[in-house]
């Protein structure tokens, strides 16, 4: 099966970025979300991203226009029926993702591949709720998707080798570097990254230094382009907490215990950039 048409479920930061890179590679893309406003925001984010590339002379205006034309938006998941590959990029909530996969399993053609952009949830469990577990796989893109080269490609226990090879080839086709990662809580990227962020939150919680000072230590001392607390704000503190909870539940190891301050900030609605306030203010 040749993949020429891709569906993306979820028009947030990750979903819109995935739609952009797929369309930029010449694929026809259907971006689906239940919320029309979210779809319009997602399409706007894609247009803004492309406009920045045009301004930097990395892309012609004609090419930018062609990319946008290859993306259609729809609030009805039935529009994903013609896609050979559908990538789910919804909120990091296992119950929600399982619901989406059950729906996609009914909507999509029998040989279509169902992928998830989950950053921590078991691909094996998501595959198990479908009638095509051998065609379910993880494609964990990094944020921001148009800029970051890595894609973790994660096989469920049930995934066919042919599906893995096809998705790996597609990742290369859209300009990414695929890395073969086993299905375990947090995979590799977030199993390393999120405990580091969580430890930075503990440093703030214990008043070792201010948020700015903690981030400065990591930027100047470790050559990180962005401090861990600023990065948490970019990711979303609710997403950070969800991943830490997956790690804690999956390994039953106290080293993955979410910092109480992280829990409290999520409870308060201080989610980072998307809410206007996290470890920093974005008013």
252 lies in the same domain as 230? yes
HSE, side-chain direction, 13 A CA sphere, residue 164? 17
Residues 222 and 125 in one domain: no
For the chain, what is the mean pLDDT? Answer: 97
**DSSP assignment string, 224-279:** -SS-HHHHHHHH-HHHHHHHHHHHHHHH--GGGPPPHHHHHHHHHT--BGGGTBSS
Identify the pLDDT of residue 29. 98
Range of the domain at 245: 191-274
To the question of whether residue 138 is assigned a binding role by annotation, the answer is: no
Residue 10, helix vs strand vs coil = coil
Could you tell me if 171 and 216 lie in one domain?
no
Q: Which residues is 23 bridged to in the sheet?
A: none
The annotation status of 198 as a binding-site residue, yes or no, is no
Catalytic residue among 119, 120, 198, 242: 119
Active site residue 103: no
Helices (H), the chain: 13-24, 36-55, 61-69, 94-107, 123-128, 161-173, 189-205, 211-222, 228-235, 237-251, 260-268
Q: How confident is the model at residue 283 (pLDDT cuts 50, 70, 90)?
A: confident
Position 230 scores a pLDDT of 98
Tell me the per-residue pLDDT of 85-98, one tens digit each, with 9 for 90 and over. Answer: 999 999 999 999 99
pLDDT tens figures, 38-80: 999 999 999 999 999 999 999 999 999 999 999 999 999 999 9
C-alpha to C-alpha distance for 142 and 219, rounded to whole angstroms: 19
92 is in an annotated binding site: yes
Active site residue 48: no
119 known ligand binder: yes
**Are 25 and 132 found together in one domain?**
yes
| Contact between 149 and 121 (Cβ < 8 Å) | no
Is 223 within any annotated ligand binding site? Answer: no
Same domain, 123 and 209: no
Count of domains for the chain: 2
Residue 236 to residues 75, 177, 233, Cα–Cα distance (Å): 24, 24, 5
Residue 102 binned pLDDT confidence (cut-offs 50, 70, 90): very high
Task: State residue 133 phi and psi, 5-degree precision.
Answer: -55, -30
CB 158 within 8 A of CB 136: yes
Token pair 């559908």 is found at: 86
224 labelled catalytic: no
pLDDT digits (tens, 9 = 90+) for 119-170: 999 999 999 999 999 999 999 999 899 999 999 999 999 999 999 999 999 9
**Residue 221 marked in a binding site:** no
**Whether residue 62 is found in the same domain as residue 199:** no
- Closest C-alpha among 176, 120, 172 to residue 148: 176
48 annotated among ligand-binding-site residues: no
The answer on whether 12 is annotated among ligand-binding residues is: yes
Q: Which of 121, 150, 182 is the last residue of a domain?
A: 182
1 pLDDT exceeds 80?
Answer: no
Which one of 117, 120, 152, 242 is the catalytic residue?
152
Residue with tokens 């694929």: 27
Shared-domain flag, residues 202 and 262? yes
User: Which residue among 16, 120, 122, 190 is the active-site one?
Assistant: 190
Domain match, 33 and 143 both: yes
Average pLDDT over residues 232-238: 95
Residues 172, 195, single domain; the answer is: no
**In this structure, are 159 and 209 located in the same domain?**
no
Is 119 a known active-site residue?
yes
Q: Which residue among 182, 200, 219 closes a domain?
A: 182
Within 10 angstroms of residue 254's Cβ, the number of other Cβ atoms is: 7
């Amino acid at each position: 099966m040749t993949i020429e048409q891709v569906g993306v479920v979820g028009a947030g930061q990750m979903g819109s970025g995935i739609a952009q890179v797929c369309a930029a590679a010449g694929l026809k893309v259907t971006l689906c979300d239940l919320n029309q406003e979210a779809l319009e925001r997602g399409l706007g984010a894609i247009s803004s991203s492309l406009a920045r590339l045009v301004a930097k002379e990395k892309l012609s205006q004609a090419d930018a226009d062609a990319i946008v034309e290859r993306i259609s938006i729809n609030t009805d998941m039935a529009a994903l029926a013609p896609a050979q590959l559908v990538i789910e990029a919804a909120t990091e909530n296992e119950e929600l993702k399982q619901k989406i996969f059950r729906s996609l399993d009914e909507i999509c053609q029998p040989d279509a591949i169902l992928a998830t952009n989950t950053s921590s949830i078991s691909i094996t469990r998501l595959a198990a709720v479908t009638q095509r577990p051998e065609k379910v796989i993880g494609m964990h893109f990094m944020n921001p998707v148009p800029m970051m080269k890595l894609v973790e490609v994660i096989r469920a226990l049930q995934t066919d080798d042919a599906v893995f090879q096809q998705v790996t080839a597609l990742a290369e086709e859209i300009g990414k570097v695929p890395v073969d990662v086993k299905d375990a809580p947090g995979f590799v990227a977030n199993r390393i990254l999120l405990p580091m962020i969580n430890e930075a939150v503990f440093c703030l919680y214990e008043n070792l230094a201010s948020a700015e000072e903690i981030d400065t230590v990591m930027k100047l001392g470790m050559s990180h382009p962005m401090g861990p607390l600023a990065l948490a704000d970019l990711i979303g503190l609710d997403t950070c907490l969800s991943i830490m909870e997956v790690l804690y539940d999956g390994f039953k190891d106290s080293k993955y215990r979410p910092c109480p301050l992280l829990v409290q900030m999520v409870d308060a609605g201080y989610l980072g950039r998307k809410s206007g306030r996290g470890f920093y203010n974005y008013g």
